[in-house]
Structure 1
Amino acid sequence: MGDVFVLSPFSGHQESSFDSSQGWQVEENDHPIEEVRLTVDPTDNPNITALTFRTWLIGVMSCVLLSFVNTFFYYRTEQLSIGSVCIQIIALPIGRFLAATLPKKEIKFPFTNWSFSLNPGPFSMKELCLITIFASAGAGDLFAMHVVIVVKAFYHTKINPIAAFLLVQTSQLLGFGWAGIYRKILVDNPYMWWPENLIQVSLYKALHQKEKRKKGTITRFQFFIVVFITSFAYYTIPGFIFPAISTISVLCLIFKKSITMQQIGSGLKGLGVGSFGIDWSTVTNIWGSPLATPASAIFNIMLGFFIGIYVLIPICYWTNAYNVKRFPIISYDIFDYTGHSYNTTRIINNKTFTLNLEEAESYSKINISINFLLAYGTSFAYMTASIIHVALHDGKNILKMWKDTKECDKEKMDVHARLMKRNYEPVPQWWFYVLLVTVIGLSIFTCIGFGRHLQVPWWGLLFIFIIALLFTLPFGVIMATTGQGLNVITEYIFGLILPGNPIANMTYKTYGTASMNQAFTLLRDLNLGHYMKIPPKSMFIVQVYCYPFPSGIYQKSSPGTNCLDASTSP
């Protein structure tokens, strides 16, 4: 069979069941990150199919299905969200069923030399990876849809459907430009390893690769089945039968009539002292999955959480700084001077949808809770800290890669980069540049042609593009090395530049923060394709097709991604 052996500097000799006669290529695993060496195989077979008829069929149906289901249930009291991992699991038996039943027939495009096969062979792991990316687009958050929803549901007015469509498409496609500019640094650089992708790689291997079970052990697939069934069965308890175990507050149970003890002990509306939860969603609410986050990032988050929740908030609240005792200690609502919910419709001009300054001054200033105030305040701190951190730790390497890409590629090229370069033609850089210039032009046209609906001047867009271009790199480095995201407060910047225009503020955040988040998603997928040895052009085609799709909006927005934003957890 031509079996080969792989020598890993950390795992010793590992027998690999790859048949070299079938086109498998195996190299020394010299990736500089230990977690990647232990998870991603240093192998590839360029003969394995990726972008096939099965990929398009299952992928497009998954994208449409998840988009409809998640959007439909977003507006229900009991929200239901379906993630791409569900499709990832279901697609495997469907793909194998199609591989066993579809005819091996060549379909030719009329008047061209192009053709494709309905059944090119066994269902591959690369096909499953591309199908999951399709599903991720349908399951993910689409911030531009929030603008459309707010205009309709909150301001009770209509937005031109063409303006809404162009806003969604341009804001999504804009991320391709930022991703293309920085992909050499954030994808090809082996030190940018995107921790979340390692879980995906492990799951693909557990689902797809055949493994011999040793006596007294279980295979990875068997372990996955046990965990899957157990976690699904357990979640019915905190999710449906007994939700109270998600936040068990001991102090609240003992001191039922004490407001102070409720503020200190509540896991939902207080500081959570003495409260705990036995629900996995409680654990992952602060930093996401701890399985995908490096220990250094977890410890940093825990330290920041402790300082914010148990030091800064109590000091500010019980010293009544900014009169915060009038409002709940933990809340993301806004209040008037009496402590009641702020009546925002009272200060909005119904005809122009701008701020009525006279009415606002006669009514009340906008007030927020102490945790909301610190969440926004610390956002500015971590923006500055992120830039300085990346400049000090990665600045020299980034400048070197930027100045001399070819030499740096030779120095930094690891096993996965060598396999990708040897077997597949890369996506030309000008594809990204052309797409970026086109989308920028279309975005300016959208704002000029539908200025009354979006309230955005063209010069404001150019300014927000510059901000997004500058901040994508440092925040992308943070994402690629820790798995933790950051949120740029573009709404504050343009609240100062164009005060009193709420729709413009949301539009600016869509083109700024949302486009950067889209770039991070695209870069993460490119890195996953790098690990899974997906042909770059196939990956590009799938991303361009599926990510502008009007996907689900079940994910809740938050003011930022730091310790204070998750303070409603126990």
Structure 2
Amino acid sequence: MDSPISAMREKPLDGADDVDNLFRASEKEESRRPTVDPEDSPYAIVRATVSNKDDTSLPTITVRFWLLAVPFTIAVSLFNQIFWFRTLSVTITGVIVQLITLPLGKILERVLPPKSVGIGRFRFSLNPGPFNAKEHALILVATSSATSIAYAVDIIVIKKVFYMQDTPLLGSILLTLTTQCIGYGLAGVCYKYLVRPAAMIWPSQLVSIALLRTFHEEDADRRGSVSRMRFFLTVTLISAIYYFIPGFLAPFLSTISILCLAMPGNVTAARIGSFTKGMGVLSFTLDWNGITSSLASPLMTPFWAIANIFVGFIIFVWVVIPSGFFGTNTWDAQNFAIFGSALYKGDGSKYPTLTMLNPDLSLNESKYAEVGAPRMTYMFAISYGIGFAGLSAVLMHIVLYYGREIIQRFRESRDVVNDVHCRLMDHYPTVPQWWYLLTLTLSTGLSILVCEVYGTDLPWWGLLLAVLMAAFFLLPIGIITAISNQTPGLNIITEFVIGYIMPGRPIANVTFKTYGYIGMAQAITFLGDLKLGHYLKIPPRDMFLAQLTGTILAGISNVLAAYMMFAIMPDVCTTEAWYCRNAHVFFNASVIWGVIGPNRMFGTEGYYSALMWFFLAGALLPIPFWLLARRYPNSWVKYINIPVLLAGTGIMPPAYPGSFPSWFFVGFIFQFFIYRYRQKWWARYNYILSAGLDAGVAISSFLIFFALSNNGIELNWWGSQPDCPVLENKL
């Protein structure tokens, strides 16, 4: 289930409280300050993390950058795309890239000769001096496109696997690149409003800046303690060795379901206790990847957010779901599995999606009249309701908590003369507007070509409408992201719009959604990276080059990796280990919104029309807690965040219920207990521990796949059986 917001926030490395509280603290502090030093930022959270100095002599786009950014972008995008198909996916994150490229950059600093070479009129040094934070940040920016999978790959996969349609390789590459790059052209229009102003803080970028400054401005070794780098390497080694057990020898350790083990033939017990196919009661995992495959690392998420998400999980999964499923049997829920993204007929049999379509994939009305609308698992239906509620809740939350600030900050954004970071950045030439316009024009033109030639079923005017929607929402949502770290998504709105305009067109629906939703999301990502460069005083043209290079390399690599998986594993997305959870959800969304259409599913004609009330419920829910927080500003009520509470639960499926209790337990230990009682250790090692665990899992997964699984080497014993076999084929 696509989450309507990206609501989880990371803590600054200095061990301060979460970004939201720091932001409010800075406001209180400024109200007490008669004047603000013009040689520093007017905001405390920025002053605490960002340097107000700049060394203009530091090199940025260097030979070291190309030697590290290009291979890492390709390798990370290939790795992440391959393991995106895996049921418990493995991802190399930006933090891992940051940590691994640090020693490699230092090695290149030592081994490359300080020799100047020339290519035509251009001359450059092979080794221009010490490996610095600006170079490191540019490598991170380039590879950041590879750490997340291009959204358009979902279209390619569902066309191949579920709709049995091949897409030419060139068409797939153009589809992926245009959906990723079209937002970059839109971003240029908003640069002076969302990047240059001091009022646009972009709190999420402060974590990367803190880590980069730690690496490049502090001595990693402290007397009497282990260096961060040594700690990272040790954790990585232990994690890689250990993951060989749940990753190959005993997969059951990834999804331990106590009730299924105790009552293996009891369907009710399995529905209640299954890690992957039920409610996850008394389920847990001894696999780090089982904890983080769908949720952000609990070591990188502040405890207030962890608590909100887990409370939402308890309310919806352990209270609402059993009440509706076992109690009232709402929507004939017991005819279907309790959890999963599969679609069914009314009698519980598999919904015959392909037989409902004409050769051009449009809906066959006579077939539909015979079969009727699809039914969903109860948890899948509720997750859509939560998605509806989350969309309206985040908008209401932003209006209530940040409405005045948004207006104030937008007014402030027009006056950026006195901001020290803007004055320092004025030493560097800006990106010409024609660069952005050219990117937008080329991307839009190629997008129209893709829509008209490569079987997306979306007419040219639909593509332009998607781009206009992305452009319309970019500035307001960009302001929300820049000051509150929350990004409302356009996925549900875009599905709704095109679903009503073009019902019965699944590929057109997902294509429209991708161009609209990802077009804006990529623009927000690019603007955030530009703010990172703004804080670090990296020339904007270098940032543009690094981001665009990484996006193009990562997009092509994603497509090639997907086609490689199609060739290596003809049964990909159909096995227990390689189930492609995201692709299944994406496909079923294409059926719900595209084949059937929102009116027949959720409108007046729909079996699930009651879910539309969740829009109203989501809009109303933040109000009482906002009133209570104003009445009792120093109480725990101020930590209740309805959008965050809803967002975590709204990602099931594809997220598994069983991962939430283990995720909360680990988060409680590190983000509450250790943070409160061992704060020095937490500040020094917490993020490094998370990165080391991620790196170890990634390395071990890579070795297991290519050395064992790819060669047909598998173990078949009790510990390798699927979770709760009594619910087999009920995903």
TM superposition score normalised by structure 2: 0.66
CA offsets 1:490-542 (integer angstroms, 9 cap, x no match) = 22331221111111112112201222332233233223323433222211111
**497, 503, 509: which is aligned to 1:505?**
509
Structure 1 equivalent of residue 161 of structure 2? 153
The CA distance in 1 between the partners of 2:237 and 2:214, in whole Å, is: 15
Q: Distance in 2 between matches of 1:295 and 1:79?
A: 24
The one-letter code of the counterpart of 1:379 is: G
Task: Describe how 1:75-94 pairs up with structure 2 within 5 A.
Answer: 81-94=91-104
2:314 matches 1:306: yes
In structure 2, do the counterparts of structure 1 residues 95 and 220 end up closer, same or farther at CA, with 3 Å as the change threshold?
closer
1:367 is aligned to 2:372: no
Aligned counterpart, 2:558: 552
From 32, 54, 73, give the equivalent of 2:43. 32
| Gap regions ≥5 residues in structure 2 | 1-13, 18-36, 563-579, 590-646, 659-731
* Equivalent position SS for 2:455: helix
Matches within 5 A, 1:285-324: 287-318=295-326, 319-324=328-333
**Separation of aligned partners in 2, 1:227 and 1:523:** 34
Equivalents in 1 of 2:266, 2:193: separation in Å? Answer: 55
CA-CA distance at 1:145 after TM superposition: 2.6
Please identify, of 201-210 and 340-349, the stretch whose mean Cα deviation from structure 2 is larger.
Answer: 201-210
Cα deviation for residue 182 of structure 1 reads 3.8
Q: Which of the residues 266, 275, 285 maps onto 1:258?
A: 266
Aligned-partner Cα distance in 2 for 1:287–1:526: 26
- Using a 3 Å threshold, how does the CA distance of structure 1 residues 189 and 157 change in structure 2: closer, same or farther? same
The aligned counterpart of 1:23 is none
Counterpart CA distance in 2 for 1:141 and 1:339 is 34
Matches within 5 A, 1:262-277: 262-277=270-285
CA distance in 2, matches of 1:343, 1:231: 43
- Which residue is equivalent to 1:103? 113
- Aligned with 1:457 (options 456, 459, 474): 459
Distance 2:498 2:264 in 1: 45
**Which residue does the alignment assign to 1:5?**
none
For 1:242 and 1:193, how far apart are their aligned partners in 2?
46
1:563 corresponds to 2:572: no
State how far apart, in whole Å, the 2-side matches of 1:199 and 1:403 are: 27
Q: Does the C-alpha gap of structure 1 residues 158 and 279 become closer, same or farther in structure 2, counting only changes over 3 Å?
A: closer
Could you give the per-residue CA deviations for residues 180-238 of structure 1, whole angstroms, max 9, x where no partner exists? Answer: 34445544455655555444334434544451744433444344344444444444444
Once residues 227 and 483 of structure 1 are traced to their aligned partners in structure 2, the CA distance between those partners, rounded to angstroms, is 32
1:521 paired residue among 522, 525, 528? 525
- Displacement of 1:52 after TM fit? 0.9
Asked whether 1:443 is paired with 2:411, we answer: no
Identify which of 492, 496, 505 aligns with 1:492: 496
1:94–1:446: structure 2 CA closer, same or farther, 3 Å change rule?
Answer: same
Does the aligned pair in 2 maintain the 1:194–1:527 contact within 8 Å? yes
Alpha carbons of structure 1 residues 286 and 532: separation in structure 2 relative to 1, 3 Å: same
CA displacement, residues 295-331 of structure 1 (integer Å, 9 cap, x when unaligned): 4433432333232212322222221111111111111
Tell me the percent identity. Answer: 35
How many Å apart are 1:356 and its aligned residue?
1.6
Q: What is the Cα deviation at residue 280 of structure 1? A: 3.3
> Secondary structure of the residue that 1:453 maps to in structure 2?
coil
Partner AA of 2:368 in structure 1: A
Q: CA 1:254/1:195 → structure 2, altered by over 3 Å: closer, same or farther?
A: farther
List aligned pairs for 1:30-179, cutoff 5 A: 30=41, 32=43, 34=45, 37-72=47-82, 81-110=91-120, 113-179=121-187
Deviations along 1:248-291, whole A, 9 cap, x unmatched?
Answer: 33333333333222222222212222223343344445641334
Shift of 1:51: 0.8
Partner of residue 326 from structure 1, selected from 335, 346, 355: 335
Matches within 5 A, 1:412-423: 413=419, 417-418=421-422, 420-421=424-425, 423=427
224, 233, 253: which one pairs with 1:216?
224
Are the structure 2 counterparts of residues 204 and 405 from structure 1 closer, same or farther at C-alpha, using a change threshold of 3 Å?
A: closer
Q: In the alignment, which residue of structure 2 is the partner of 1:424? A: 428
Distance 1:200 1:315, change over 3 A: same
Distance 1:96 1:215, change over 3 A: closer
Match for residue 357 of structure 1 among 348, 351, 365: 365
State the partner residue of 1:466: 468
Name the TM-score, length of structure 1 as normaliser: 0.82
What is the alpha-carbon distance in structure 1 between the residues aligned to residue 429 and residue 79 of structure 2?
37
Query: Any idea what SS the aligned residue of 2:651 has?
Result: helix
Against the structure 1 CA distance between its residues 49 and 159, is the aligned structure 2 distance closer, same or farther, given a 3 Å change threshold?
A: same
What's 1:3 paired with?
A: none
Q: How many residues align structurally?
A: 538
Contact 2:90 2:289 (8 Å CA) reproduced: no
Root-mean-square deviation (Å): 3.5
Secondary structure, in 3 states, of the residue corresponding to 1:552? helix
Q: Which runs of 5+ in 1 are unaligned?
A: 1-7, 12-25
Please give the per-residue CA displacement for 1:336-387, whole angstroms capped at 9, x wherever unaligned. 222232222211223x222222123223431111121122222222222223
Partner residue of 1:345?
Answer: 354
